[in-house]
Structure 1
Amino acid sequence: MAQQEQVTNKICTLANLVSAVRLCMVPAYLVLLLDGHDVLAAFMFALAASTDFVDGQLARRTHTVSRLGQLLDPAVDRLLMIAGVLGLLLVGRLPLWIIVVVIVRDLFLLCGAAYLLRFQKRVAVIYLGKVATTFLFIGFAGLLLNLPLIPGLGVCDIAWLPGFNGESVSWGIWFVYVGLALALVTTVVYVSCGVAALKEARCERAAISCD
């Protein structure tokens, strides 16, 4: 197990190649969606999202966990998330408030991770965060397909709450709501872990300066 957890400075690894391919799928998805190819766009997005675990598993099983991979893997996830909501906004299938919440959260986490790296610290991805991302990705894929449409609950007349109003909407919206709730919970956890890591880094620096 200890050998599996060793981190290298290698760049050319199979896991990093998979991450790079997934990164290339992001603009491909946007081009397909904006050209009106809903099914192909949904397939490209689903393929990029469903291979999320592949690069991490490859790195661990081949003992090639790298510093680049530790940055690239979550960065691709964040870019795919941002591209997913932006694309759905451009085609009018997600309300603006969901896009704002997703993008602000992801940019906040990216900036926080970059700041921690200045102190040679990072917060490991937690399992609940992966679950939240999975729900969001499934929901986005459903909204991209835009079928089958199901009637809304009709509990309100608010246009920016699809699924709760009476308008028919893709089943994917319910996965988005669950994923969004879980994502907000994990944000609190990440912030807590980040603050703890920052305090640890400052204590280490203080100890070194005293020596």
Structure 2
Amino acid sequence: MVRLLLVPFFFMVFLTGENDVVAFVLFALAASTDWLDGQIARRTGTVTEIGKAIDPIVDRALIASGVLGLYLEDRVPLWILLLLVCRDLYLLGGASYLARHRAGRIDVVYIGKATTMLLLAGFSGLILNWPLVPGLGVIESPALPGWGSEPVAIWMWFVYAGVVTSVITAVIYTQLGRARMRAVRAKAVAQ
């Protein structure tokens, strides 16, 4: 998993603040290998259960390092960091609960893939913090970059879209997990 190896290198380079371009290249390379890994595995028929299990974990590590680095560099507000990290911990807890009760694994849903794509694209662009677009001028708050009059990197809007879809996916995965647990309980009662 090349992506997992790139995460600490990206994080160190980005936090030194000396070369956003190198940090961008490392992050974008890690993000693009996600797509490339999947394509190669599907086309060569080498999709494995362990790969399906590890892939989302590596995605989460990359997203966590990206959002944490961007927060520490003051490019995303704290609430985005907290929401994304708490959502991932919540889903990890749910997956652990399902595994403990032998309810099986829930496959990634399409909107979950879209969420990952939006966040990875948004974070990649925010690392460079370019191009800037005018703010909407709706509400002046440092907690809502882009909604005030200050210019913001256009990629912030990708992050906002990814945050919205991440909440939606948390609801979807919760519903799928509950359905799995109902099936497990029904099977136990039937035996």
Separation in 2 of the partners of 1:164 and 1:103? 23
**Match in the other structure for 1:32:** 13
**Match in the other structure for 2:27:** 45
Pair 1:101 & 2:83 matched: yes
Structure 1: state its 5+ residue gaps.
1-19
TM-score by length of 2: 0.93
Pair 1:188 & 2:171 matched: yes
Q: Does structure 2 retain, via aligned residues, the 8 Å contact 1:55–1:73?
A: no
Aligned length: 189
Structure 2: state its 5+ residue gaps.
none
- 171-180 or 198-207: bigger deviation: 198-207
Pair 1:173 & 2:128 matched: no
Q: Does structure 2 retain, via aligned residues, the 8 Å contact 1:142–1:172?
A: yes
Q: Does structure 2 retain, via aligned residues, the 8 Å contact 1:122–1:197?
A: no
Separation in 2 of the partners of 1:157 and 1:114? 41
Once superposed, what is the RMSD of the aligned Cα atoms? 1.4
Q: Which has the higher helix share?
A: 2
**Match in the other structure for 1:152:** 135
**Match in the other structure for 1:83:** 65
**Match in the other structure for 1:92:** 74
Separation in 2 of the partners of 1:131 and 1:40? 25
How much has 1:120 moved relative to structure 2? 4.7
**Match in the other structure for 1:72:** 54
- Identity percentage over the alignment? 49
What per-residue deviation string (whole Å, max 9, x for no partner) do you get for residues 142-164 of structure 1?
11001222221111111211000
**Match in the other structure for 1:200:** 183
How much has 1:204 moved relative to structure 2? 2.8
TM-score by length of 1: 0.84
Q: Which has the larger radius of gyration?
A: 1
Separation in 2 of the partners of 1:101 and 1:185? 12
**Match in the other structure for 1:161:** 144
What per-residue deviation string (whole Å, max 9, x for no partner) do you get for residues 49-91 of structure 1?
1222222333333333222212110100111111110000111
